[in-house]
Chain A
Amino acid sequence: MLQFDRVSLDSDTETLRAQVREFLEDNESHFTTPNSDFGTGHDPEFSRKLGERGWIGMTWPKRYGGGERTFFERYVVTEETLAAGAPVSAHWIADRQSGPLLLRFGTEAQRETYLPQITAGEAYFSIGMSEPDTGSDLASVRTTAIKEGDQYRINGTKIWTTDAHRNHFIICLVRTDPSATRHDGLSQIIVDLKNDGVDVRPIANMAGGEDFNEVVFDDVMVPADRIVGEPGNGWTQVTSELAYERSGPERFLSAFRVFVELVRACGPDPAAHEAAAIGRIAAHLMTMRRMSISVAGMLQGGKDVAVEAALVKELGNNFEKVLPEIARLAAPESAIKGRFRETFEETMLLSPSFTLRGGTREILRGVIARGLGLR
């Protein structure tokens, strides 16, 4: 049975937490609109400042610029920055998954090249998984990378690529052996978004932002040493990357600022239904946070967390969508104008993406069902 052990952040993390809070207060000028969605707010200057403090790549070895700190310490930094609504999206993917991927599977040269830039808050990565005809069925990717001498020739299209127009690199899941079927013949390859001749076209989203893109590869040539790890090992690598993508506090905090504004709008002496709405949201968030910390504990212990991470994401993403709905109905009339309304509308417009990005709700339920031995 799935179990989430009683894990708590040890008291060592409290000093760090205080430092992060102080840092965030000093840097409030970077929070144009406080938003706890990890996908909004791309601010290289802010990311560099976090890097300077040693708060990116915190768990990685020192020789690559990391801090050799615990997953709990990393947890504290991620939850504090999100809850404050800080602009974290520039470094987010590199810190959460590209770096750990390179650390685990990359070549020594790749680690030495990319990891120190990431921890400095200077190199930002995008995820090149989805394609026009490949969504949930990730093993159906068609983009090819064919070896020619000491180079790879890449052809195909990636889509929904968050921040490809702002970031420096993309790690693409590609087919290096087109004759192999499905999971075989897949590899991951690093492409330089600024210098390799990739065509990046922003796609406007329904919330009024231009965050994701179509990325077209038309005979793009990259050196052979950009293959991450072993050619043909792409499927194993990409699935391990997804586990990192799924369990963190960003999976239940996207709508957190709406909660904060609800409490502000209700004031110190709320009506019964207002208090109940606040309490209901808090009860959910407190429980998910603890489950997420339990997963951080498993990561710290070197355990495979794929199913538990899917479960936290499933609960968290569903609740991120419910939270604005509870808040909307409970908020007093005075909140119709003002900060609550603004935060609510921004989050509501982003909310359809919560149960899609990083694996849809339906796919996650499938992962959990497999964990229950049903498939």
Chain B
Amino acid sequence: MSEAQETRQIILDTAERMFGDLCDKQLLDAAEQGEFAAPLWEQIAANGFHHLGAAASGTSAADLYAFLMTCGRHAVPLPLAETLLVNNWREPDNGLYSIGIVDGDEVVDVPWGRRAEAVIAVNPATGAVCAIDTPEVVRQSVNMAGEPRDVVRLTSDAVPLEVADDPFAQLALTRANLMAGGVQALLELGITFASEREQFGRQISKFQAIQHSLAIIASEAAAARRAADAAVDALGDERFVVEVAASKARIGEAVTVAAEQVHQIHGAMGFTHEHRLHHFSRRTWAWRDEFGNEFFWQQRLGAHLANLGADKVWSFMATRG
């Protein structure tokens, strides 16, 4: 293993342990009631994970996204994707930050805007980015997973910011990685449940229909992960945006298939609030639509290919990877 790979492994192992200990059903339920997971956030900051990918941290952007995949696998109820990007887009600091989308004189879909010490506004149409240092929450709102998605006022004193790779695509890439981790969790939950639940005198995992369903989920999980990694590897490349397009579009489809199958495997138990499955299915469903859904990114990628023309399609596909 190279040194960079070792660093990544240490980060992921540590994160895995931390989330395994702290990020349980109780915490997820509390977060959904609006309670901020302060102890978890403090642990993350104590490990320096909120600075992953920032130049001075000795870690790479690839580490940042690998960490987010682990966050997705544990449904970590904090605006980590946003805080990490903010710390990569400007001088890293120790606050909790968030990012939203410009809509008129408001910034919408701001994860945990109510707790953010600064909010960065991205205008997807122009690519312009600016920082709001004393954010004022206009309305509180949540996505279908109960994750805070607030509305913040876009103030005239917002400070413009230069971001290297397309900022909207970077945001989409955070969701691609969270989803890839989420689909992995769906697979693991499905395997566990199918091995524990018995009907007709045997574990339901012994039924071929259930095995096939899990094989389908496993295939989607593997595809999601490979697609997420490929887009991360394109950071800094001229193809970054189209690679993110392929990634976010493909992984969105993986969520659709995996979530449907895994709920079927869980029977009525998976439809309860008590079981933790919904923390993963609702999140992955919601993330499909954040920062461009499948249709949005398919169009971007399709328009790019149409513009290249039929006889260039193959060489586009066979470049990179």
Please list the residues of chain A having a beta carbon within 8 angstroms of any beta carbon in chain B: 1-4, 6, 8-9, 17, 79-80, 83-84, 256, 259-261, 263-264, 266-270, 272, 274-280, 282-291, 293-294, 311, 314-315, 362, 364-366, 368-369, 371-375
Contacts and interface: CB of A to CB of B under 8 A. Distances in A.
A113 B167 CA distance: 60
Contact of A283 (B225, B246, B320): B246
A314 B219 contact: yes
B214 interface: yes
Contacts of A261: 310
A276 B299 contact: yes
5 A-B pairs with the lowest CB-CB distances in the bound complex, closest first: A279-B298, A279-B302, A275-B302, A278-B302, A279-B301
A283 B211 contact: no
A2 B217 CA distance: 12
A373 B205 CA distance: 10
A283 B311 CA distance: 18
B229 interface: yes
B317 interface: yes
Interface of B: 184, 187, 191, 194-195, 205-206, 208, 211-212, 214-216, 218-219, 221-223, 225-227, 229-230, 233, 245-247, 249-250, 253, 294-295, 297-307, 309-311, 313-314, 316-318, 320-321
B218 A290 contact: no
The SS class assigned to the A binding surface is: helix
A278 B309 CA distance: 11
A4 B206 contact: no
A242 B247 CA distance: 30
B215 A287 contact: no
B306 A269 contact: yes
A281 to B, nearest CB: 8
A314 B215 contact: yes
Contacts of B314: 83-84, 256, 260
Contacts of A256: 314
Contact of A285 (B245, B307, B311, B317): B317
Nearest to A373: B191
A374 B205 contact: yes
Given A365-B215, A374-B191, A3 B222 contact: yes
B125 to A, nearest CB: 17
6 contacts: A263-B306, A278-B301, A283-B250, A284-B250, A287-B250, A293-B321
Contacts of B206: 374-375
A76 to B, nearest CB: 8
Contact of A280 (B195, B218, B249): B249
Contacts of A8: 233, 320-321
A290 B222 contact: no
Given A2-B218, A369-B214, A287 B223 contact: yes
Given A264-B310, A365-B216, A274 B211 contact: no
Given A277-B302, A280-B294, 12 more contacts: A6-B230, A275-B303, A280-B298, A282-B305, A282-B316, A283-B301, A287-B227, A287-B230, A287-B246, A374-B195, A374-B214, A375-B211
B151 to A, nearest CB: 28
B226 A294 contact: yes
Contact of A372 (B208, B215, B320): B215
Contacts of A369: 211-212, 214-215
Contacts of B306: 263, 266-270, 274-275, 278
A371 to B, nearest CB: 8
Contacts of B311: 260
A369 B317 CA distance: 30
Contacts of A272: 299
A275 B233 contact: no
Given A275-B298, A278-B302, A260 B310 contact: yes
A186 B261 CA distance: 39
B230 A290 contact: yes
A102 to B, nearest CB: 30
A8 B226 CA distance: 12
A282 B250 CA distance: 9
Contacts of A283: 227, 245-247, 249-250, 253, 297-298, 301
B78 to A, nearest CB: 25
A228 B261 CA distance: 44
Contacts of B307: 268
B303 A270 contact: yes
Contacts of A278: 298, 301-302, 305-306
Choose among B195, B309, B321 the residue with the greatest number of A CB atoms under 10 Å from its CB: B321
Contacts of A275: 298-300, 302-303, 306
A291 B223 CA distance: 7
A75 B221 CA distance: 24
A279 B222 contact: no
A269 B211 CA distance: 44
B302 A282 contact: yes
B309 A286 contact: no
Contact of B305 (A263, A287, A290, A314): A263
Contacts of B219: 311, 314-315, 368
B226 A4 contact: yes
Contact of A290 (B215, B301, B303, B321): B321
Contacts of B187: 1
Contact of B208 (A266, A311, A366, A368): A366
